[in-house]
Every structure is written in C-alpha cells, then in structure tokens.
Amino acid sequence: MKKFLNKLDIERKALKPINSLFREPQLCGLTAKAIEQWHSQHPECGIEIYKRLLAVSNSVGSLSDRSGERFDEQYMLDSERSEEEVRQLLKLLASQ
C-alpha cells in the first residue's frame, strides 16, 4: 500500500504541471487514447507536442501499470526518466 502512495506522488508530480498548462479535463491521466483524441481536436498544437505528450504518457503509464515485482530499482530509474520527459515537454511548451 505504501508503494501505491509512492505511485500517486509520481503521477501527481507529472500530471499537475501538464494539466495546469493544458486545462483540458479529458487529458486528465494522460493515457495515449486521451492524447490522441485531444490532438485530433487540436491539430494546431503540432506534432512535436503530441509526441512529447505521448512520451510522458508512456513513462508515467509504465510506472502506473506495475504491480508485484514491478516495483524495483528499474521502477525508480523509470521514475526519473518520467520526470525528465515532463521537463522536456514543459521546455518545448515554453519555447512556443
């Protein structure tokens, strides 16, 4: 259960800045499905942002999906990768 708390912390850290910028309720958990729907409605945002969102989605999603043995050192490395993906996305958004 404590690992579940850790998972929530990681997800909140990734989702807050992105949801704060996009203000799009349906993006909420950043699933690939939600991002694709969002992109089809907002093509003006460009392919780079779309790709970056998917990259964040992949890294956060892979953390969220884990269970049992999947919480390990690799999990912590992937957590760091996830944070880096968010930083890259925010940097891209700031440059536009």
Partner 1 sequence: MADIYAFGSVVSGEFDEGSDTDILAIESPFDENRYPSDWSVYSRDRIKELYSRGTLFAWHLHLEAVPIFSSASGGFLESIDPPAPYSEAKQEIQLLLTIAKTALAELASDTPSSIYELGILGVAIRDIGMAASHILNGNFCFSKFAPFLLRSAALPMNRDDYFFLIKCRRATTRGYHVNYDDERCRKIMETSPSIFEWGDKVLTQVGKGER
Applying CB under 8 A, which residues contact partner 1? Answer: 1-2, 4-5, 8, 11-12, 15-16, 19-20, 23, 25-26, 28-29, 31-35, 37, 62, 64-65, 67-70
SS3 23: coil
* Minimum gap (Å) between residue 34 Cβ and partner 1: 4
Buried residues in 55-65 as b, exposed as e (16+ CB within 10 A): bbbbbbbebbe
**Least distance in Å: CB of 30 to partner 1?**
9
Using the minimum distance from each CB to partner 1, give the nearer residue, 51 or 71.
71
- The answer to whether 61 touches 32, Cβ cutoff 8 Å, is yes
Smallest separation (angstroms) from partner 1 to the CB of 83: 16
